[in-house]
Amino acid sequence: MSFSSCLPAGNERLSLRDRVYRHLADVLQSRPLHQPLCLDQDAICQELRISRTPLRDALLRLEQEGMLEIRPRRGVFLRPVSREELAEICRLLGLLEADALEGAFPLRQSSLLPALESALREQRRCAQEQDPVAFRRAERLFHLSLQVTPQKTWRGSLTEPLYRRLDVLPYGRDNAVRRCAPVLAVHERILDSLVRGNVAAAASILRYEYWTPETFAAVPAGHARPIPRVPEPTAA
């Protein structure tokens, strides 16, 4: 199997180091929710037909982003997210996404609303089918749609590592299924606010309702804990 077959379309223009980094990051993001990290570096090099050098560079980059911990002579370990780090990640992403939405919506309304509606339809389908892995992909797509070409802006360079840190959170399948309904409800309110032209309300919901540690915390069995709501600002 060639390395190019392992990568999404459009990555051919990236350097080998960047392609290996993207591949490893995507592997971490798409792994089963309950599965611990186990990286066989020799197997990865053989599978992708690469040397140790670009793999080592990619691992060091992921370590700098806080995703991994490399322990000499022991291996590569996924670094858990502390409560304090989760709170800081949520605060930063709330600020960045709300700022992006308030700045871009007046210019991108015609293209943004259909993209959000499409992501929301996919979330509904995944929630109904109780597919938490696909739901998380649709959930992420909803938030990436709020940014302007997120991979090519300074904002994207800040948000991508933060998103990836959230992928480390150890969701069990039952808990991941239970969080779908409250997340979906918040996304529906964000879209409804934008359809009504109330960008301030949508930004407020992003910052103070979605991007909170409670959104990503474990939901006990038998509880459908709603995400806390704040009053919506009226349109100017």
Q: Where are the domains of the chain?
A: 3-78, 83-216
The per-residue pLDDT for range 140-181, each reduced to its tens digit, is: 999 988 875 544 567 777 888 888 788 777 666 677 888 899
pLDDT for 181: 92
Per mean pLDDT, which range of 15-19, 96-100, 101-105 is the poorest?
A: 15-19
pLDDT for 117: 96
More confident residue, 80 or 6: 80
Residue 76, classed as helix, strand or coil, is strand
The per-residue pLDDT for range 144-154, each reduced to its tens digit, is: 888 755 445 67
Q: What confidence category does residue 77 fall into, taking pLDDT thresholds of 50, 70 and 90?
A: confident
CATH fold, domain 3-78, is Arc Repressor Mutant, subunit A (1.10.10)
Arithmetic mean of pLDDT over the chain: 79
Class of domain 83-216: mainly alpha
Q: What confidence category does residue 38 fall into, taking pLDDT thresholds of 50, 70 and 90?
A: low
In Å, how far from its chain's centre is CA 206? 14
| Rounded average pLDDT over 18-45 | 70
Instruction: Find all residues with CB under 8 Å of 10, minimum gap 6, and list them.
Output: none
Residue 222 has pLDDT above 80, yes or no: no
What is the DSSP secondary structure assignment for residue 217, as one 8-state letter?
S
pLDDT for 2: 34
SS (H, E, C) 145-197: CCCCCHHHCHHHHHHHHHHHHHCCCCCCHHHHHHCHHHHHHHHHHHHHHHHCC
Instruction: Find all residues with CB under 8 Å of 14, minimum gap 6, and list them.
Output: 22
Inter-residue contact 113 to 136 (CB < 8 Å):
no
Residue 69, classed as helix, strand or coil, is strand
pLDDT for 211: 95
The per-residue pLDDT for range 53-70, each reduced to its tens digit, is: 988 898 888 888 777 778
Per mean pLDDT, which range of 15-24, 141-150, 227-236 is the poorest?
A: 227-236
Q: What confidence category does residue 120 fall into, taking pLDDT thresholds of 50, 70 and 90?
A: very high
pLDDT for 138: 93
Provide the terminal-to-terminal Cα distance of the chain, rounded to the nearest Å: 56
Global pTM value? 0.70
